Structure 1
Amino acid sequence: MRKTLVAILFLVTFLSVRAQQFGGHPPSQRWMQIRTPSVRVIYPQGWDSSSRRIATVVNLVTSLHDSSIGSRLMRTNIILQHQTTIPNGYVALAPFRSEFYMTPPSNPFELGSLAWGDQLALHEWRHVQQYSNFNRGLAKVFRVLLGQQGQAFANALTVPDWFFEGDAVFQETRMSRQGRGRLPSFFNGYRSIWEAGTNYSYMKLRNGSYRHFVPDHYEMGYQLVANGNEQYGPGFWKKVSENAAAMKGFFYPFQKAVKRYSGISFARFVDSSLLANRTRLGVPSSALRKGGPEVINEENPVYTESGDLLLVRSSYKQVPSFYLRTGQKDHFIRTRDMSLDNYFAYANGKIVYASFRRDTRWSWIDYSELQLLDLHSGKQQRITEKSKYFMPSLSAGGDSIVTVEASSAGKYALHILDVSGGLVKAIPNKQSHYYSHPMFYQGKIITAARNSAGDMSLLLVDPANGNEHPLTEWSQNLVGYPSGKGDTICFTMTSNGRDRNFALVFSSRQLLEWKEERDVSVTGEYQPSVFGSRLVSSRFTAGGYKISEQTAGVSQWQPVESIRPLTAFGLLAGDKPLVDVLAKDTVLNPGTSNYRKTTKFFNFHSWLPYYEDPELSFTIFGQNLLNTMQSELYILYNNNEGFKEIGFAGVYGGWFPYINAGLSYTLDRRARLENKQVYWNELEAQTGFQVPLNLSKGRSISNLTFGSDLVYNHAFFPEPQKTQYGIEPYFYLDNDLRFSHQVQQAKQHIFPRWAQTMRLQYRDALNQFDSWQLMATGSLYFPGLSVNHSFSMNLAAQQRDSSTGIRFTNDFPFARGYSDENLFRMGKIGVNYQLPIAYPDAGLWNIVYLMRMRMNFFYDHAVAKDSQRFATDGFVNFRSTGTELFFDTKWWNQLPVSFGIRYSRLLDDDVFGGTGRDRIDFVIPVNLIQARGAGNK
């Protein structure tokens, strides 16, 4: 496509949300809709009650006329995605819409126990309010100039991501009895780094690190938003965010607005807010250190029958893997398959866990499948396929499995399976509870459960009839990770501002809490397990999750006098919600109707004027709400040749293959033929298909994409040139196949330690000309000498016809340093060795932050043959060697950009031009602009 499209796609990618899926549902999917004055909810058939509840919550929030945000409200669309197992949600512009991923998080300690649709509605609707009120000042000018993507770009530059998310977490906390602001686990990140004595700069807290654990912007944002609201009133952030969105002050408008309305500098505001919150969260002062500890996670400790420990270990250098700890030694068992969490269960030499797998074609559909791993042989078997099972647990004999099913119909149930994955019993869920961490116990099942009000309890479930008996009182306190030994059930529960280990004496129903002479940590304790007199659990630290093993005596287990309810840690004016929106019994009952997939089929939302010498273009972009149709209209002027071009291109992803089509008409093309200036007009039309297949499973990520385009070109020459040259319309095919495979990557891995990519492209004129071109490229990635080093090889070959017909564009990756030309036959091999050289974790003026520097050493050897260009009929060598220095950075504290400088030493003459054999180039990758959006997790 045209060069301008490359730049356009950069910006479109930036304004998209990473989670967005194109053509993600099969044609059989049917959609319904309900409408209210403020929102339209688009939902799959069978989700009527959920859609009404969500519409009710957002309308109640809207009716409050909240003084902490402006009164503007753009009517939006919420789409309920019901076939993904990932719990998430987002709001984005270009086009303006929100999508809710309706499978709840299986672990309540991640995001809480509120009804999932309620929490999404509270959180995501705040993003709707933000975007509605941030279209002002210069942001509004950007919207006029560029459409919705203009506002998105302006808002991303001036309003920090921590405010977007912190403000939304604040809303879910103050408008419900829970929300993340009341969850101790939400503050584990900051508690851990404070406890470790780290003193990270504001820029490091904003941008993260490849070396050290840094809490995310949700935690930071909530603390700053809550403290600003407490210190300066509910209207403080309304004034600050409106000033920032309007770009008042232009440079650093958000920081200037904070100073304007608080009376103190932004740096002092951040420092004082975090210091005050540290006191509220009960973290004592400790000696300061500049850096943090190395991050090595040890999760889900489970005792074997012999008292050894099973665990999942991971780090910034290593992907999650199963280990057996005997004494002081860890023995590797197997790398864990791709999963949404690190939870697993063990019994009788077997490990069972849930792995994640995407559907082969439909990207909005994915699965949670059960894997059974033999501890002794290390062999693993997939026992369920295309299932949605979570939190599996084995019976003591290892012959049965109990697991939670969360179906795409929004129904939840406990299923008992045999070890081959066959369904033995679907236990009735009479109260419509959502379950977590079930386990077998004395012929019954013990499980954590949450109800529609967000209360949790530990339940005893009779598998014969589904009857439930609460073992703990229903409350907003989180409960999970039960494990049983004899008459004692250990579990984790929230109490007194922390997640703590508890035990229940089953026969007497006596509740005990694990007490220590002093709290060894201010963070939570999770996943307790008992073997004899030993108690093991996992604590969160600045170096990741760490296993804590202690001797369990009678003095440590103390009777519980009372369970303290959740608190807001002093970050709200009182612990009660400002308005408990979720407690209101109002229920909207708008009419339902079918939602046609062709609704606003083109839905043009943004436009982009763009200039790259010698071309000036103006493009209008469209995308429908279901994201099955993407399109663009454009007009282009070429200053060198003076031609004008208008065109349309679109792709439809609602069928198994993507169907694409385009049409362009060019006026006043010109060229010199036989020393005469010749003008003509040109029509080009194309249609084709593409099939994207996701073949990922287990421990590897694989994708296969193939397709073909049929292109028609008709040049309209005036007489006498039309008769003189006799050029007729012609067709050509453009066929393309791409395949990639890689293993999972740890955070510090520059490239996968094992990966392969391959591309085949064949273009062929079907009439008028004997023109054709075949290209094959591939890359192979291997481990280097150190764990974070990478060795790779690049291979390429291309050949075209030798006729004088049309020439296809040249995509051949030539030897670095040389000018590239479209030659008759070409081949290339390249070798690279890349390694990190520094992790500076330093930045300047809140503009650029340098996270990593890495070096690549390369050698390229290309050969080419073309008797019309060279004085020989044989192959000509083009060899080069050199180094590349790359900088992995973040700009404006949120936009990741990797760029580099390349020095090439040519070992042969550059016959295509250029002087000297030393070349220096700047390297800017095609992923210059990354995705950005406001989401939930």
Structure 2
Amino acid sequence: MKPICLSALFFWFLLSLHAQTFSILEQNPTSIRWNQLQTPRFRIIYPRGLDSIAQYTANLLQTNYASVSHTLGKQPRKLSVVLQNQTTISNGFVTMFPRHSEFFTTPPQDPTLAGTNNWLGLLSVHEFRHVVQYDKMLTGFTKGAYWIFGNNALGVISLTVPNWFWEGDAVSTETALTSGGRGRIPRFDLEFRTRLLTGSEFSYSKATCRSYKDYIPNHYVSGYFLSSYLRRHYEGDAWGKILTRHYKFPLEPFSFSGAIRKETGMKVEQLYHEAAKELAGLWRNQLNQLNETQATLLPTARNKVMTNYEFPQYLDNTTIVCRKSGIGDIETYVSLKKMENGKAIEEKLFTPGIVEFTSHASNPSNGMLSVADSKIVWTEHGFDPRWNMRDYAVIKLYDLSSQKIRRITRRTKLFAPSLSPDGKTILAVEYTAQNQSSLQLLDTQTGQIVQTDLSQWLNEGFNASEHPLFQLPRFSSDGNYITSVILQENSKSIVLFDLKNRTKQSFPFGDENVSHPVKHGEYIYYNSPFTGIDNIYALHAPTGKKYQVTSRKFGAYNATISPDGKEIAFNDFTPNGFRIATMQNDPSSWQPLEDLANRTVSFYRPLLLQEGEKNLLRMTSHDSYTIKPYSKLANLINPYSWGPVVNSTGSDFFVGISSQDILSTTAIQTGIGYDANQRTASYIGNISYQGLYPVLDLNVSSGSRSGTGYVDRKLPLDSTRTDIWRETSISGGVRLPLTFTRSKFRESLVLSVYSGYTKVTDYDFTARSYSEQSNGSLYDMRYALQYNRLRKQALRDVFPRWGQTLTSQYRHTLPGSDFTGTQYTVQGGLFFPGLAKHHGFLLRGNFKYEDVSATRQNYRFAAPIVFVRGQSYTNSTYYTGVYADYRFPIFYPDWTLGRWFYIQRIKGNLFADYGRLSTGNASAELTSIGVDISADFNFMRLLPQLELGFRTVYRLQLGDIIIQPLVIDIGF
């Protein structure tokens, strides 16, 4: 295929991605009022009461602007930044729909995400680098496309750049410009490092597009090393030059790789292999003369794929509770009971709900759990029923005696719970909406925060203006002490609280990324990357002397001490994932810190020199900016895209303007639409206001329609005629989207009521008994319900293992309408486990009633139901259908077909459908059976993943076999 033709098709494909109806946007509660402040480069929009955080963020961004922009050679346009303080998720993002950034202000407990950086400081570098990347597109061909299409052009052209660059370059920047970026954290590269050290280097396609066969580190990790490798060997502005070349004509196939080759002489595949080769050599040298401590790995159930057993806690001297997860398993809590013969019995305890997470960390959950007095506590994600931007961190408890789960807190922001040894008290970190962190004590029975002088004393003596962040606190094994990491001013300390004597002792660690402290006897055990490899260390509290407890070659984490004090259990990383390892708790075998060699691999070092060895978070200005109220109404209209857009089938073409306000309350689309199937045009205006508890929708259209219909007055229907008429429609209504997720099932409900008016003129079909339309006015109502309850899925699952869905709709005309019609439909589905792991069975059924007799009803509504596969939809008064699907993965090939296709999974689906139609005394039955074969693949090694295949159907009544193309998921 000629490049210009391929580019045209690709461009058409990319344009299709952004034609869509209004979905439910993510909003805050209506009651929140907003302020704003303006700097020369930024507008900060934030909830009232967050003035100091907003001022601090403004100064961070303003200070960082020049340095973060420097190496890409682009100074971005002024940007709006929204501070979100109602969510417990630690995240941030930049979007072009509309163009702005959002910072989620709750800092993470996970030490692998921010390291020793201030959370907002990290976001101000990482997220703003994305802004620079996006504005870098405003050059060459892409700049012209932007003027024609608006931000839609930038959005689709951004897909020509692999995901690993966007995140990898941002991680490289945060690492080079701060003292605690992820490139400095050994846990960040743990899986990638282990793969290379064990000789398991994957192909470029597999390493960047992921896999169902093997665990692949995410694109943050691969991207960091690819982007940093190029900067290590070329100038600091090399990526800026590459992007300038690419955006001159980005739709040429593999333009990004070609730009790399022109700048460096290497294709992107060579860049990947050279980076992997260099890293493998550096990491092998890191292990030279490493004296590895001995430990015993607890045997586990046979796992065919990478599976993690994490966060161990002793239940007794022979039983350990931990969290199990992997690409083949959702998170479950299991116990491992050690036997005298050296084996262990693995027992599943329970499956939690949505565990606390930080959505873009390398390790997506700190996953901390605590066990005492036959109880287990942990944190789960709690959902607001309506507002997507308000959520909670709630504590749950599992009683091993009764085998029941109990929710301890509701609508709280409590993290990292720890049980006291007697099981009566829970210690946790609380965040306020003003971003203040504190330690809280809760009653295990009631879940109420215990307001005593002890809880007040725990939080005294810390400078609130410096926003100290408590991380991963723990009761000591005897209950007399509490340990906690405190992150303050980009520096960490471990604080020891003596609960009996009411004394506090602080042990400073500076920029050493320590975590997970736990006290037993005179020692505080903690995680540290001190030598360049994460391991477990011990601090002798009376003397302050430090020791290395474990020396494992990949990484050891999260120590816990057996009740008798004789054994240590910890997470030990292996090529097959995290395992639980045990060793003797023998201080005489530990290595003093001063005897240890520094084995740190500073892969980022050349980047520091390119950036002038700056630490931006210690250079922040302290200007004060004027604060003003932010009016939602005044900022309601915010156009972000314009020009032509086509839908995914290529049948609808739209020229107009799309608008959405920064706070995502109002979406508007207006313009002229063209239906290629009917060859007609119409004026369209759609608006959705989502700032209230119910969503308000209004849709208006006016233009031409065309259709082909039968003109027979009696059966058989074999004469057709095409006509063009004018149609004006107005519809409006309300939706109420609700979320009820509280367990391992994701549960949601959407209720809606809509009313519509349609005026038809210039319709010239002759009257007939099966007429569906004529001149006149139609007033109608529609009521709908959609309910889903679906179990969480592992990566390999093709269906939820358990689940229920229900959809019901009732439509009818209103008095005063020139037409009459009534329709009722209901359909539901049940998901069940299949015969093997990752197989799934889906049983669906539906029913439709619609009276189509000419004397009573003469308008037919479109029927939103599934029909028998391989058959064309046929109108009838009644329709009942039953459908069975058995879906299963066939194999995971990880095939690379040149540079064009990377095939990850081949799936099969066996189905059988039955439908019965009846109108009056006439009835008919339709039956089909068949098989679907489809492939999950990546095109041109780009995301998202696509799915195509074919369907073979045997139609029993007709006795024939048909083969159909199967388009399941093409990314939009």
TM-score (norm: length of structure 2): 0.87
* Residue 539, structure 1, aligned to residue 572, structure 2: yes
Instruction: Say whether the 8 Å CA contact 1:281–1:569 is kept in structure 2.
Output: no
Cα separation, 1, equivalents of 2:722 and 2:528: 83
Q: Which residue number in structure 1 is paired with residue 55 of structure 2?
A: 52
- List runs of 5+ in structure 2 lacking aligned partners: 1-11, 289-302, 339-343, 357-364, 713-719, 768-772
Q: Is the CA contact 2:949–2:966 (under 8 Å) kept in the aligned structure 1?
A: yes
Is the contact made by 1:294 and 1:543 (CA closer than 8 Å) also made in structure 2? yes
| 2:558 partner amino acid | Y
Q: Does 1:134 align with 2:137?
A: yes
Partner of 1:841: 894
Tell me, yes or no, if structure 1 residue 343 matches structure 2 residue 376. Answer: no
Give the match for residue 434 of structure 1: 469
What residue is the counterpart of 1:796 in the other structure?
A: 846
d(CA) in 2 for partners of 1:481, 1:928 = 43
Shift of 1:445: 4.4
**1:102-125: CA deviations, max 9, x gaps?**
111112134313111100000000
Is 1:902 matched up with 2:947? Answer: no
Cross-structure match for 2:701:
664
- 2-structure distance, mates of 1:841, 1:231: 31
Instruction: Please name the residue that 2:862 is paired with.
Output: 809
Aligned counterpart, 2:683: 646
Contact 2:310 2:580 in 1 (8 A): yes
- Is the contact between residue 195 and residue 522 of structure 1 (CA under 8 Å) also seen in structure 2? no
1:929 corresponds to 2:938:
no
Aligned to 1:448: 484
Offset of residue 467 of structure 1: 6.6
2:872 to 819, 824, 829: 819
Q: What CA distance in whole angstroms lies between the structure 2 residues aligned with 1:7 and 1:269? A: 28
Partners of 2:705 and 2:304 in 1: CA distance = 66
How big is the alpha-carbon RMSD for the aligned residues of Structure 1 and Structure 2?
3.0
The one of 832, 845, 849 equivalent to 1:782 is: 832
Q: Superposition pairs for residues 239-638 of structure 1, below 5 Å?
A: 239-247=241-249, 250-282=252-284, 294-327=305-338, 328-340=344-356, 341=365, 342-420=367-445, 421-425=447-451, 426-427=455-456, 428-429=459-460, 430-431=462-463, 432-441=467-476, 445-461=481-497, 468-470=504-506, 472-515=507-550, 519-530=551-562, 532-561=565-594, 569-573=602-606, 578-607=613-642, 608-610=644-646, 616-638=653-675
Residue equivalent to 2:814: 766
Report the Cα distance in structure 1 between the residues aligned to 2:20 and 2:759, rounded to whole angstroms: 36
How much has 1:578 moved relative to structure 2?
Answer: 2.1
Deviation for aligned residue 1:742: 1.2
Matched with 1:103 is 106
Q: 1:12 aligns with which of 9, 13, 18?
A: 18
8 A contact 2:41–2:77 mirrored in 1? yes
Q: Do the aligned residues in 1 keep the contact of 2:793 with 2:800 (CA within 8 Å)?
A: yes
Q: Which moved more, 1:53-62 or 1:679-688?
A: 679-688
Cα distance per residue 1:749-780 (max 9 Å; x no partner): 11111001110011100123330111111111
Contact 2:934 / 2:948 at 8 angstroms: preserved in 1? Answer: yes
Are the structure 2 counterparts of residues 613 and 836 from structure 1 closer, same or farther at C-alpha, using a change threshold of 3 Å? closer
Q: Is the 8 A contact 1:436 1:448 kept in 2?
A: yes
Contact 2:314 / 2:560 at 8 angstroms: preserved in 1? no
Cα distance in 1, alignment partners of residues 473 and 667 from structure 2: 44
Tell me, in whole angstroms, the C-alpha distance in 2 between the residues paired with 1:224 and 1:581.
Answer: 24
Partner of residue 71 from structure 2, selected from 61, 68, 91: 68
Range that drifts further, 594-603 or 129-138: 594-603
Q: Within 1, Cα distance between the matches of 2:888 and 2:727?
A: 49
Residues 678/907 of structure 1: CA separation in 2 closer, same or farther (3 Å cut): closer
Specify the SS of the correspondent of 2:606.
coil
Which one-letter code corresponds to 1:408 in the other structure? A
1:348, CA displacement in angstroms? 1.4
Counterpart contact for 1:142–1:154, Cα < 8 Å: no
Give 3-state SS (helix, strand or coil) of 1:561's partner.
helix
Please tell me whether residue 34 in structure 1 is matched to residue 87 in structure 2: no
What is the identity, as a one-letter code, of the residue corresponding to 2:17? Answer: L
Measured in 2, the distance between the counterparts of 1:72 and 1:821 equals 59
Letter in 2 for 1:778: G
Q: What is the match of residue 913 of structure 1?
A: none
Return the letter of the residue paired with 2:667. Q
What amino acid is the match of 2:355?
S
What secondary structure sits across from 2:450 in the alignment? strand
Instruction: Go from structure 1 to structure 2 and tell me whether the alpha carbon gap of 1:699 and 1:266 turns closer, same or farther (over 3 Å shift).
Output: closer
Shift of 1:628: 1.0
The answer to whether the 8 A contact 1:753-1:790 is kept is: yes
- Describe the SS at the equivalent of 2:605: coil
Q: 1:8/1:200 Cα in 2 relative to 1: closer, same or farther (>3 Å)?
A: closer
Structure with larger RCO (C-alpha < 8 A, sep 6+)? 1
Q: Is the 8 A contact 1:185 1:524 kept in 2?
A: no
Q: Please report how far the alpha carbon of residue 10 of structure 1 lies from its aligned counterpart in structure 2 after TM superposition.
A: 6.0
- Change in CA separation of 1:542 and 1:15 when aligned onto 2, cut-off 3 Å: farther
Aligned to 1:748: 796
SS in 2 for 1:256: helix
One-letter amino acid of the structure 1 residue matched with residue 345 of structure 2:
K
Instruction: Note the C-alpha offset of 1:488.
Output: 2.5
- Partner in structure 2 of residue 3 of structure 1: none
Deviations 1:290-345 (A, max 9, x none): xx972111001112233321111123222221222112111221112220232100
How many Å separate the matches in 1 of 2:87 and 2:472?
A: 20
Q: 2:740, 2:748 within 8 Å by CA — same for their partners in 1?
A: yes
Q: Which runs of no fewer than 5 residues in structure 1 stay unpaired?
A: 1-5, 287-291, 868-872, 910-915, 931-937
CA 1:389–1:668 in structure 2 vs 1: closer, same or farther (change >3 Å)?
A: closer
SS of aligned partner of 1:194: helix
1:150-161 correspondence to structure 2 within 5 Å: 150-157=153-160, 159-161=161-163
Contact 1:388-1:405 within 8 A present in 2 as well: yes
Question: What's the secondary structure of 2:17's corresponding residue?
Answer: helix
2:882 is equivalent to residue 829 of structure 1: yes
Q: Displacement, 1:252?
A: 1.4
Distance, in Å, in 2 between the alignment partners of 1:528 and 1:14 is 51
Residue pair 1:71, 1:133 contacting (<8 A) in 2 also: yes
Aligned partners of 1:448 and 1:843: how far apart in 2?
Answer: 48
For 1:559, the aligned partner's letter is P
Distance in 1, matches of 2:651 and 2:336, equals: 65
Is 332-341 or 260-269 further displaced after alignment? Answer: 260-269
Distance 2:20 2:71 in 1: 28
SS at match of 2:700: strand
Tell me the secondary structure at the aligned position of residue 703 of structure 1. Answer: strand
User: After the TM superposition, which of the residue ranges 530-539 and 330-339 deviates more from structure 2?
Assistant: 530-539
Equivalent residues of 2:305, 2:328 under 8 A apart:
no
1:211-238: CA deviation from partner (whole Å, max 9, x where unpaired): 2111111111111222211211112111
> Structure 2 vs 1, CA of residues 747 and 641 (structure 1 numbering), >3 Å: closer, same or farther?
closer
Tell me what 1:209 maps to: 211
Contact 1:773 1:801 (C-alpha < 8 Å) held by counterparts: yes
TM-score (normalizing by structure 1): 0.90
Post-superposition CA distance 1:595-619 (Å, at most 9, x none): 1112432322223343867754324
Aligned to 1:877: 925
- Between stretches 679-688 and 633-642, larger displacement belongs to 633-642
Matched residues in 1 for 2:241 and 2:426: separation? 55
Query: Contact 2:482/2:499 (CA < 8 Å) preserved in 1?
Result: no
Q: Report the Cα offset of residue 23 of structure 1.
A: 4.4
Q: CA deviation at 1:282?
A: 4.0
Match of 1:917? Answer: 960
Aligned residues: 898
How much has 1:560 moved relative to structure 2?
Answer: 2.2
Q: CA deviation at 1:51?
A: 1.6
Give the partner amino acid of 2:268: F
